[in-house]
Amino acid sequence: MENLKPINILLMEDNEDDILIIQRAFKKTKVTNELYIVRNGQDGLDFILHEGIYSQDKHSTPGLILLDINMPLMNGFQVLEKIKAHPIYKAIPVIMLTVSERDEDIIKSYQGGATSYITKPMNFEDFVKVLEQFEIYWSLVSKIPEVRG
């Protein structure tokens, strides 16, 4: 198997409890990817575009985005629309990671260009199981383009 370079992951999530669960699940499953966290949609977009408070930051462009729907300043659908309209960053896979199980949200996410839609598990153990499957899929099965901004 070819040497695969770990990708950086950007988590856009405003719920501190969910952030802690996700961080703990990453540690428990030994996911070694760099995990960047922003707590609202506008900061997430600025992070990706290297604008605003991130204009001088030397972070690399994320290779994968985990995006919540309900966030302050700019919701997940608005962020998804802006990412997918960008000529360079539209290639970044975006996984909607949200509590919503509404069909309308799922349809809107896929129509907006989301790569996948995952409903957040309600407890830590279930989230670890989801993350293990997620890691297997993204590291062994799926090919992700390297996006440079």
Residue where the block lists tokens 């989801």: 130
Count CB atoms within 10 A of the CB of residue 137.
11
State if pTM tops 0.95.
no
Residue where the block lists tokens 């996700």: 22
Q: How far apart are CA 69 and CA 71, in angstroms?
A: 6
Cβ contact 82:45 at 8 Å:
yes
Q: Quick one: how many helices (H) and strands (E) in the chain?
A: 5, 5
Q: Residue 145: what pLDDT?
A: 56
Q: Residue 144: what pLDDT?
A: 53
Q: Residue 141: what pLDDT?
A: 45
> In the chain, where are the structural domains located?
9-137
Q: Which residues of the chain have pLDDT under 50?
A: 1-3, 140-141
Residues in the chain: 149
Q: What is the pLDDT of residues 35-52, one digit of tens each?
A: 999 999 999 999 999 999
Q: Residue 140: what pLDDT?
A: 46
Q: Residue 148: what pLDDT?
A: 61
CATH fold of 9-137:
Rossmann fold (3.40.50)
Q: Residue 56: what pLDDT?
A: 86
